[in-house]
Amino acid sequence: MHQTFDHALEVNLLHANQAGADHNRAHLDAWGVTCLNFMSGPGAGKTSLLERTLHSLTPALKVAVIEGDMTTDLDAQRLRQCRVPVIAINTGRCCHLDAKMVAGGLRQWAREHNPAEFDLLFVENVGNLVCPAEFAVGEHAKVALLSITEGEDKPLKYPLMFQQADCLVVTKLDLAPYLQVDLDRIIAHVRQINPQVPIFPLSAQTGVGFSPWLAWLHAQLSPQIHEKALFA
Ligand SMILES: Nc1nc2c(ncn2[C@@H]2O[C@H](COP(=O)(O)OP(=O)(O)OP(=O)(O)O)[C@@H](O)[C@H]2O)c(=O)[nH]1
Ligand SMILES: [Mg+2]
């Protein structure tokens, strides 16, 4: 009985969240903005990937960031150094962003800027390998990150994140020589969960592996943005 009640509650919660995400997506589509949701366990390298990506994109492409953190604005401060608007959302005790929080971020963005003048919105989710995968925020694609220091078994132990991902970035590739880690095993485990997902092993520190990642990012942009000069 309790189990049925709990299950119904969860279904309602996710259903309401999905309606909110659809609403956010409708606004993003009306503005012509492509939104990517970056998700990973804590410290896998989301902010570092965004920093290097923002430095690699041509200034002709207008980008904003919604930065989700439980308490601080440390990542928001880092990303502001990249000279893009950053809307910081503190989630408090909540271990993920949800559609309602991101709707608040979109409203703030629309008060401070004209979103229709932008091309891309990056959402950095709270560091957590489980819950962010449950809650859509209106993104056009989900980018999951896994650092090679986290262990080859993680795709099998936390399957939802890898199942939901439209793209997987395997980070910290520069550390591979110092670890006993088999990249092919990581990739094989991901393929068990999500056989077709594009996988980009790279290093945000050295830039190795960045070109295929940037090409994938480019392919996500809406067609009218394609003719803009693409990457610096
Ligand atoms: N060697 C190496 N270190 C990296 C790389 N990317 C990130 N790091 C380091 O990993 C640590 C965490 O990186 P962040 O970019 O803050 O990770 P994050 O996923 O944004 O962390 P949270 O937002 O707290 O979940 C920092 O000390 C980074 O310098 C990389 O490609 N190579
Ligand atoms: Mg971060």
- Could you report the per-residue pLDDT of 174-218, keeping only the tens digit for each? 999 999 999 999 999 999 999 999 999 999 999 999 999 999 999
Average pLDDT over residues 65-71: 97
Structure-block tokens of residue 231: 């990457």
Distance 70 CA to ligand 1 centre (A): 17
Burial 197-212 (b: 16+ CB within 10 A, else e): bbbbbbbbeeeebbee
Residue 224 has a pLDDT of 65
Distance 126 CA to ligand 2 centre (A): 8
Q: Is 205 in the pocket of ligand 1 (CB under 6 A)?
A: yes
Distance 174 CA to ligand 1 centre (A): 12
Structure-block tokens of residue 215: 């090409």
pLDDT in tens, 131-176: 999 999 999 999 999 999 999 999 999 999 999 999 999 999 999 9
Q: Is 43 in the pocket of ligand 1 (CB under 6 A)?
A: yes
Name the closest-CA residue to atom 5, ligand 1.
Answer: 172
CA gap 157, 146 in Å, rounded? 13
Domains and CATH numbers, the chain: 2-221 (3.40.50.300)
Average pLDDT over residues 54-77: 96
Q: What's the gap between Cα 77 and its chain centre? A: 18
Q: State which of 40, 48, 170, 175 you would mutate to test the pocket of ligand 1, scoring each by most atoms of that ligand within 8 A of its C-beta.
A: 48
Burial 26-53 (b: 16+ CB within 10 A, else e): ebbeebebbbbbbbbbeebbbbbbbbbb
Q: State which of 38, 47, 150, 170 you would mutate to test the pocket of ligand 1, scoring each by most atoms of that ligand within 8 A of its C-beta.
A: 47
For residue 228, the tally of other CB atoms under 10 A from its CB is 12
Name the closest-CA residue to atom 8, ligand 1.
Answer: 45
The ligand 1 atom nearest the CA atom of 202: 31
Name the closest-CA residue to atom 14, ligand 1.
Answer: 45
The ligand 1 atom nearest the CA atom of 204: 31
